[in-house]
Amino acid sequence: MRDLGRLLELSGRTKVRVSVSITTNREAVRRLYEPLCASIDERLRVIRALRETGIETYATLAPLLPCDPEALARAAIEASGRDLIGDPLHIRAVKRHGATTRAEGWRVSEKNGFDAWLDADFQAGIIERIERAAGEMGKTFLTGPRGFARLAK
């Protein structure tokens, strides 16, 4: 929100798109993985506020942390009014190149019983649940390059 004035100024000169990462709907989980980041409620408030100004704003569910997938999808769509973009925690077994989940993320997952969130088959199930929840709201959920391409249009 501190940059709202700048974003509005830029939007008068060019097309502006903002993507806000919402990784989970569980604040306790957010504090484990992202202790220095804004709360989930604050992120949703920012999305709503930017949307109200007319700035094209996306809720990006990435990286997907332990959550209630359906509730996360609903909250993100209600705030943004848009299709969803996202990605699970990156694991080398699935993503051979580029960014991947750092060792700290693996440790937090293992220490707190979230190991399944690092399993490709489990992740696929979570993605399917979010796709289904988004579809019920008339929206889509795309992951990876297909999803993030929405920001480049």
Q: What is the pTM of this model?
A: 0.90
82: CB partners within 8 A, 6+ apart: 56, 57, 58, 59, 139
DSSP string, the chain: -TTHHHHHHHHTTS--EEEEE---S-HHHHHHH-TTSPPHHHHHHHHHHHHHHT-EEEEEEEEEPS--HHHHHHHHHHHH-S-EEEEE---TTT--SS----HHHHHHHHHTT-GGGG-HHHHHHHHHHHHHHHHHTT--EEEHHHHHGGGG-
Measured CA distances, 101 to 6, 47, 97 (Å): 32, 25, 12
Look up residue 99 and give its amino acid.
A
Measure the CA–CA gap between 7 and 14, rounded to whole angstroms.
10
Cis bond upstream, residue 63 (ω within 30): yes
- 32 in Cβ contact with 24 (< 8 Å): no
Tokens of 32: 């484990």
Per-residue model confidence as pLDDT tens for the chain (153 residues): 888 889 999 988 999 999 999 999 999 999 999 999 999 999 999 999 999 999 999 999 999 999 999 999 999 999 999 999 998 876 645 545 555 556 677 788 889 999 898 888 999 999 999 999 999 999 999 998 899 898 887
Domains in the chain (CATH in brackets) are: 4-152 (3.80.30.30)
- In this prediction, residue 72 carries a pLDDT of 98
Phi, psi torsion values for 140, nearest 5 degrees: -120, 165
- 54 in Cβ contact with 37 (< 8 Å): no
